[in-house]
């Protein structure tokens, strides 16, 4: 669809959606009234910026049903966030909302080369987390043969992957890396499995990690993005170009704002992603602030899709650590580790000792380097520490630990332990 036609469709949906929310969600009506904006002021998608923002704090305040815009009896499902950054929030769906979400996931599967001839192994967690049911529904919509594995039980994952000849794998990137490692440990080579592609998301991962997973599984690895508040995964996904994720703009209007001032930024500038659900019925959030930091581009994509593309989230604003006054994203450390030949299995510990911040990075020695002498290990720790210092501008203490001693993740990896929060 040409860009103008998308805008026209968004206008039509937004005008209706604002009226729907104003009439049925008293909490948002109050916010609009306070801002002095009424549904009549929203005549086109260009008026989006007049609406008040919503954030996770609003969802916590209105928990559980304060955002409900339809009778509860019209809802058919509840899902919840993973609670990565605090108390979980919930989302509710009508059947129409579920269909819309699954349609978005189906697009992601097709964009990664999936069809009814594929065997899609879904090992995102099933249950309240949106990863499992989202990709599961998308796979059904495509007509692929769906393996609802959920996460965990890696032996069984591998058995079914090989016996049933799974061709596509859907899970978090950290679990994909773990499955790759487990296949190798069992003596499989990358070309021994039948997988051709993987659709990985729900947590930040670097380009270096993508290459690592692609190598270990012998596949092409695609990124997928979403959040419970907008439905779940599938809000945006990579196409064959793998140069940013196309946002499903017919369902979600997107803005990038300055996180400090709330001002809408021009295309190409880095800022916080804000989504407006244009046609969800039960939980239709308008101008929801994601706290994910991104850049948008409307440059023509060679794949032919006209939907705007978002960069990989450069990090959640609340993932960022401030260590000795320096901004540090865990992804920067991941990049260095992989470039230095280590696996993306690590733990970052931050603490405060004598009023000064400390940064400890725990990394596993690859099995083939485990036989090193103590002095050999110390010099490797120093080398890695130097590379991290060059990237961040502050010195870490690197601890090389024996293989398989850092806990593997089957869902979203927890890699940062900030002990300063425990003291405050
Ligand atoms: P929680 O906010 O508790 O983690 P969700 O399970 O809804 O709850 O996760 C949504 C968040 O996960 C997004 O806001 C984003 O920070 C992160 N996320 C999802 N997909 C990706 C991705 N492909 N790359 C980086 N981060 C992602
Ligand atoms: Zn494209």
Assess if residue 274 is contained within a domain: yes
Same domain, 300 and 342: no
Residue 281: name the closest of 83, 4, 92, 103 by CA. Answer: 92
- Of 264, 292, 316, the one marking the end of a domain is 316
Assess if residue 104 is contained within a domain: yes
Same domain, 301 and 367: no
CA distances to 157, 170, 195 from 218, rounded to whole Å, are 17, 15, 7
Residues near ligand 2 ion, CB 5 Å cutoff: 239, 241, 301, 303, 305
Assess if residue 177 is contained within a domain: yes
Same domain, 293 and 310: yes
What pLDDT score was predicted for residue 85? 65
Same domain, 70 and 201: yes
CA distances to 344, 350, 357, 361 from 397, rounded to whole Å, are 18, 10, 12, 6
Assess if residue 61 is contained within a domain: yes
Pairwise CA distance, residues 122 & 343, whole Å: 24
Q: Does the beta carbon of 202 lie inside 6 Å of ligand 1?
A: yes
Burial class (CB in 10 A: 0-12, 13-18, 19+), 237: buried
Q: Does the beta carbon of 81 lie inside 6 Å of ligand 1?
A: yes
Structure tokens at 150: 């959920």
Chain-centroid distance of CA 180 in Å reads: 20
Q: State the number of CA atoms in the 13 A half-sphere of 313 facing the CB.
A: 28
Same domain, 237 and 385: no
- Of 316, 342, 375, the one marking the end of a domain is 316
Same domain, 335 and 257: no
- Of 266, 284, 316, the one marking the end of a domain is 316
Pairwise CA distance, residues 308 & 338, whole Å: 30
Same domain, 257 and 344: no
Provide the residue-wise pLDDT of the chain in tens; the chain has 424 residues: 999 999 999 999 999 999 999 999 999 999 999 999 999 999 999 999 999 999 999 999 999 999 999 999 999 999 998 776 667 899 999 999 999 999 999 999 999 999 999 999 999 999 999 999 999 999 999 999 999 999 999 999 999 999 999 999 999 999 999 999 999 999 999 999 999 999 999 999 999 999 999 999 999 999 999 999 999 999 999 999 999 999 999 999 999 999 999 999 999 999 999 999 999 999 999 999 999 999 999 999 999 999 999 999 977 766 788 898 888 888 899 999 999 999 889 999 999 998 899 999 999 998 877 767 888 899 999 999 999 999 999 999 999 999 999 999 899 888 999 998 766 5
Pairwise CA distance, residues 24 & 250, whole Å: 23
Assess if residue 396 is contained within a domain: yes
Chain-centroid distance of CA 34 in Å reads: 33
Residue 63: name the closest of 37, 81, 76 by CA. Answer: 81
Name the residue range of residue 243's domain. 1-316
What pLDDT score was predicted for residue 392? 92
Pairwise CA distance, residues 135 & 122, whole Å: 7
- Owner of token pair 């099995």: 367
- Which ligand lies nearest to the CA atom of residue 290 in the structure? 1
- Which ligand lies nearest to the CA atom of residue 84 in the structure? 1
Pairwise CA distance, residues 53 & 199, whole Å: 31
Pairwise CA distance, residues 56 & 409, whole Å: 25
Same domain, 2 and 55: yes
Pairwise CA distance, residues 338 & 341, whole Å: 5
Buried b (16+ CB within 10 A) or exposed e, 368-388: eeeeeeeeebeebbeebbebb
Pairwise CA distance, residues 238 & 248, whole Å: 11
Pocket test for ligand 1, best of 111, 224, 225 (most atoms within 8 A of CB): 225
Atom number, ligand 1, closest to the C-alpha of residue 224: 23
What pLDDT score was predicted for residue 87? 72
Assess if residue 424 is contained within a domain: no
Same domain, 397 and 271: no
Whether 244 and 310 have beta carbons less than 8 Å apart is answered as: yes
Same domain, 177 and 272: yes
Same domain, 201 and 149: yes
What pLDDT score was predicted for residue 329? 87
- Owner of token pair 């305040």: 61
Assess if residue 423 is contained within a domain: no
What pLDDT score was predicted for residue 222? 98
Atom number, ligand 1, closest to the C-alpha of residue 316: 16
CATH number at residue 162: 3.40.50.12780
Looking at the 3D structure of the chain, how many domains does it have? Answer: 2
CATH number at residue 371: 3.30.300.30
Atom number, ligand 1, closest to the C-alpha of residue 319: 16
Same domain, 414 and 310: no
DSSP structure string for 53-90: PB-HHHHHHTTTTTT--S-GGGEEEEEE---TTSS--E
Pairwise CA distance, residues 52 & 272, whole Å: 15
What pLDDT score was predicted for residue 243? 95
Atom number, ligand 1, closest to the C-alpha of residue 88: 3
């Amino acid at each position: 669809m040409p860009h103008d036609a998308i805008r026209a469709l968004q206008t039509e949906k937004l005008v209706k959606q604002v009226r729907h929310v104003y009439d049925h969600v008293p909490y948002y009506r109050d916010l609009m009234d306070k801002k002095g904006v009424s549904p009549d002021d929203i005549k086109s998608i260009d008026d989006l910026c007049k609406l008040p923002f919503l954030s996770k704090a609003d969802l916590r305040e209105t928990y559980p049903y304060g955002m409900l815009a339809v009778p509860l009896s019209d809802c058919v499902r509840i899902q919840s966030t993973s609670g990565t950054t605090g108390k979980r929030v919930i989302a509710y769906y009508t059947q129409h909302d579920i269909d819309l979400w699954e349609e978005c996931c189906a697009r992601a599967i097709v964009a990664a080369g999936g069809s009814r001839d594929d065997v899609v192994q879904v090992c995102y967690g099933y249950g309240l987390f949106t990863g499992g049911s989202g990709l599961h529904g998308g796979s059904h919509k495509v007509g692929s043969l769906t393996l609802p594995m959920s996460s965990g039980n890696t032996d069984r994952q591998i058995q079914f992957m090989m016996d049933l000849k799974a061709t596509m794998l859907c899970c978090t990137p950290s679990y994909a890396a773990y499955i790759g490692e487990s296949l190798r440990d069992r003596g499989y080579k990358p070309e021994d499995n039948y997988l051709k592609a993987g659709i990985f998301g729900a947590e930040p991962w670097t380009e270096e990690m993508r290459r690592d997973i692609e190598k270990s599984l012998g596949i092409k690895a695609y990124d997928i993005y979403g959040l419970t508040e907008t439905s779940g995964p599938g809000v945006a996904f990579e196409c064959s170009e793998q140069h940013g994720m196309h946002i499903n703009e017919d369902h979600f209007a997107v803005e990038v704002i300055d996180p400090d001032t709330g001002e809408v930024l021009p295309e190409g500038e880095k800022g916080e992603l804000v989504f407006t659900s244009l046609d969800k019925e039960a939980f239709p959030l308008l101008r929801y602030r994601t706290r994910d930091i991104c850049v948008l581009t409307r440059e023509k994509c060679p794949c032919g899709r006209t939907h705007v593309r978002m960069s990989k989230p450069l990090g959640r604003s609340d993932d960022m650590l401030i260590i000795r006054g320096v901004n540090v994203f865990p992804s920067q450390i991941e990049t260095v580790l992989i470039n230095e030949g280590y696996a993306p299995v690590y733990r970052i510990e931050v603490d405060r000792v004598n009023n000064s911040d400390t940064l400890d990075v725990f990394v596993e020695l690859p099995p083939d380097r485990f036989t090193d002498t103590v002095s050999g290990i110390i010099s490797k720790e120093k080398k890695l520490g130097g590379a991290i210092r060059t990237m961040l501008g502050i010195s870490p203490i690197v601890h090389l630990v024996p293989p398989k001693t850092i806990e593997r993740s089957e869902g979203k990896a927890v890699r940062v332990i900030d002990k300063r929060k425990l003291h405050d």
